[in-house]
Chain A
Amino acid sequence: MSTATPSAPSNKLGLTKQDYVGSKSTLCAGCGHDSITGQIINAAFEMSIEGHRVAKFSGIGCSSKTPAYFLNQGWGFNGVHGRMPALATGACLANRTLINIGVSGDGDSMSIGTGQFVHAIRRNIPMIYIIEDNGVYGLTKGQFSATADKGSHLKSGAVNELPPIDPCTLAIELGCGFVARSFSGNPKQLNAILKAAFAYEGTAVIDVISPCVTFNNHDASTRSYKHVKDHDFPLHDLGFIQYSEVEEVDIAAGQTEVVTFPDGSKVAIKAIHEGYDPRDRFTAVKAIHESMQKGEFLTGLLYINPENPPLPEVLNLVDEPLATLPQATVKPGPGVLADIMESLK
């Protein structure tokens, strides 16, 4: 299956990183989104994700093109603007064994698709929900999005006078059990967050600040690469430990906190930000607001509650995929119809 050289490292499935790539990106050279794509490939490879179980969803926009650029072994569905969550919802109900990755943008999720974002979280759809957040509509050539900071300038000189919507505090408010923010220029942190997100069973929201090198990378933009690099305040050093590796890893004591997932995987969190408890949504929201007031991007695993049951569990669905249940299971027999007809006489 592998097309790489024999020397390329392989994972537990015997696959190399080459088995996790997709088509060639058609985004602008230097686009932050391509870095995120690279980390999805790395994380899936390192987690030994079975490619055929992956379903990739997206809406419309630059970000929504990216599912074509990773995990060719998985099935992709590039839908309509702002409606990616509904597609993931339908697919996760049809086949609960799929591993769902949704890629959206700030335009896709915080304007036209805000309702779908909100309700996907409310239902706890089993999916990694990545927002590739550049504060701008790239594909239509540089209009403000709803995550643009107040006072930020467009290339044309136009100033954004409206306050931004923050996907992370919104997600925490809605009861999301996995809320993270990262920066496309911090691959190490993003990698750890993505791996933890693969282990999480419900909706894992990851807002990745990803500067648009073409339309929003000038000095007066708060989403330029330089500005974000200068204002990125990581919460903690994250280490993700997959279940089967637990025995081999020594978790440092002291300041390091460990959050365990239902499958046994663990995230080791070494706090940098004093007094921050990612399992307490109230202090999490407070810390995010405080950092926003200072103009900082607080990044890391902002909030985690691994016990949140995903929708197929709430609906008490059978364990096997509904899609392939045989006729004998889903079609009631003639006796059932006869009884119903009798009751209507």
Chain B
Amino acid sequence: MTASLASPAVTGGAKTRINDFSIQVATVNGSGSQTANTVLLRAIFQMGVLVSGKNLFPSNIAGLPTWFTIRASAKGYVARKATNEMLILMNPETAKEDIAKADAGALVIYDEPLQLDKLRGELTYFPVPFQKLVTASCPEPKLHKLVKNMIYVGVAARLLGVDMAEVKKAIAKQLKGKAKAVELNQTAAVAGYDWAMENLPDQDHIKVVRDHKTEGLIIVDGNEACALGALFAGVTVVGWYPITPASSLVETFIEYAEEHRKDPKTGKSTVAIVQMEDELASAGVVLAAGWAGARSMTTTAGPGISLMSEFIGLGYYTECPGVFFNVQRTGPSTGLPTRTQQADIEMCAKASHGDTLHINLYPGNMEECFQFSYDAFDLAERFQTPIFVMTDLDLGMQNWSSKPFAYPDKPYDRGKVLDRKQLAEIQDWGRYQDVDGDGLCYRTLPGTPGGKGSYFTRGSGHNDHALYSEKPEDYVAVVDRLRKKYETAKSYVPKPVFRNLGSAKGILAFGSSDPAVIEAQDMLAEGGLNTDYLRLRALPFTAEVDAFVKEKQVIYVVEQNRDGQMTNLLREFYPGHATKFKSVLHYNGLALDAQTIIDQIHGFEQK
């Protein structure tokens, strides 16, 4: 059916979904649609409604199709929703397929010449003459392509009941400081709104109604949250190499460092940031900077970790601190560079050849991206080892609403470092002596004066005085102590968080899966299946994980990879409970949604 002036309002017959819907916008990459979509998202957010945005973009600069979904949820569910109640179709290339895939009953805003209304019933069509509107509202032809998108924002605002004042405010915020662009885009949005008001019927399938759920909240992406964590952690050396989806983490950091990491008197920089020739070199910079006493980091994705792995083993065995951000994307190989996955779990748990076990942090939301990034530098220096901060494209590059980040008051933990004075008092110092019995040794920094404390760091066999050794007992003593360090880490890494509904059935998940798991857990409970949910936040597994594993009859391990990588780790570390773990898997590159989890758990339950 095509809505027209003749029909006063389009009614679905069902109850209106207030602040509870998903919109999918199909556009062409590089057309400036990201700005328009963010404005729409922000305007709904400013109406006090919790929203999340997912940009499904191609590995391409311009010309390929891209989709953006906005989900509003009165209940506060921010995971991707598998069904969409509104489609905005601006891309002729994909329009037919988008129509074919649309959920029955969806509202479709489209560019009139595409004549999509002839393709399929079951949908409600809202044709809009975009070219006509853009020509009338924008005097400069070369800007038509960019401004065109802002017209659909106005049209959607009208149909959804979003206040135009909020749209205007969102445009001003998004294009901060560019007065001409703000005016041009506001004019276009208003033109779309006014035209829709006069020419399109209203609808009551989905509506935005002003609420108060977003007061005081921020909108941020995980890469920015991590960059801020590193900024406040006082990182001093950054060696990096561009890769999607991690580049914006460093690039955002650079912007903040320009402002906040300059000596106020001299204008000189208190952080060194170097774009290296490759990931191998980036890893070398991180470890040697850490060795020399700096707080150092790199940012990368799976292919980068593969390349860095030799150095990571060196860092583990020679005990050099360094923070490695892995914003995971879809592998293997180049895979889907602009899609999300949690498929580097096993690799980063044990990166490099030989026996290696690493500390991994799994932030599950924006506050944790900030806090864990801050904590990672403490852990790196305390444990003198590479630390992995594991996010993914969904956390890193998508827009999330969040509580503002709390200032990290905790002073830096610079770990066990001996200075000249302390060295002078020590008779026999050995770099790898386990003086305190916790596996953590005392180190010295190059350049320490006084004639004591120098040592030779080597990736080859060494004894507790850092001297070359091939003796079996020396080798075993070192690697056993490294294992002890891993045990010590259990009382330092973030503990899991629980969402227990009182059940012998458990769900274990981590990272970006959290919103979908919460939603699934509620829906399962509504259907009569209660679960206890443990959100894992780090490796090694802590005592709380031990207890959960022992206590539960069955544990559904939700993760975004094909092979059940976390399940494999759990089975390895809890061999006596290996049959309890059931893998709930999602790995098509899209963000996880609740229905996928529910369907798979029901599948297990019915067996």
**What is the interface of chain A, defined by CB distance below 8 A to chain B?**
1, 50-53, 55, 57, 67-68, 72-80, 83, 85-91, 93-95, 97-98, 115-116, 118-119, 123, 311-312, 315-319, 321-325, 327, 329-332, 334, 336-338, 340-341, 344-345
Contacts and interface: CB of A to CB of B under 8 A. Distances in A.
A305 to B, nearest CB: 22
B281 A83 contact: yes
B93 to A, nearest CB: 34
B284 interface: yes
Given A89-B288, A91-B292, A318 B266 contact: yes
A57 B268 CA distance: 28
Interface in B424-468: 444-451, 454-460, 468
A80 B281 CA distance: 11
A317 B268 contact: yes
Contacts of B449: 50, 52
B272 interface: yes
Interface of B: 216-220, 228, 231-237, 239, 256, 260-261, 263, 266-274, 276-278, 280-296, 310-311, 314, 318, 404-405, 407, 411-412, 444-451, 454-460, 468
Nearest to A74: B454
Nearest to A75: B446
A311 B237 CA distance: 13
A330 B289 contact: no
Nearest to A123: B274
Contact of A73 (B220, B278, B295, B451): B451
Contacts of B216: 345
Nearest to B370: A337
Contact of A94 (B219, B234, B281, B292): B292
A79 B293 contact: no
A252 B232 CA distance: 58
A90 B289 contact: yes
Contact of B293 (A72, A119, A317, A324): A324
Contact of A332 (B220, B232, B287, B447): B232
Contacts of A330: 234-236, 261, 270-271, 295
Given A312-B272, A317-B268, A334-B407, 15 more contacts: A52-B454, A77-B291, A79-B288, A85-B284, A86-B283, A87-B285, A89-B276, A90-B290, A318-B266, A324-B293, A325-B270, A327-B411, A329-B263, A336-B260, A337-B228
Nearest to B402: A344
Contacts of A72: 454
Contacts of B454: 51-52, 72-76
Among all A-B residue pairs, the 9 with the closest Cβ atoms: A86-B284, A323-B293, A90-B288, A330-B234, A94-B294, A94-B292, A75-B446, A344-B218, A90-B289
A331 B456 CA distance: 32
Contacts of A97: 447
Contacts of A94: 236-237, 272, 288-294, 296
A321 B10 CA distance: 68
A3 to B, nearest CB: 12
A299 B411 CA distance: 55
Select the residue from A72, A90, A115 with max chain B CB neighbours within 10 A: A90
Contacts of A115: 277-278, 281
A335 B71 CA distance: 33
A31 B314 CA distance: 28
B287 A76 contact: no
Given A52-B448, A80-B314, A327-B234, A116 B277 contact: yes
A51 B446 CA distance: 10
A102 to B, nearest CB: 11
A230 B444 CA distance: 47
Given A337-B232, A344-B218, A91 B291 contact: yes
Contact of B281 (A89, A321, A325): A89
A302 to B, nearest CB: 25
Given A86-B281, A119-B277, A331-B412, A324 B404 contact: no
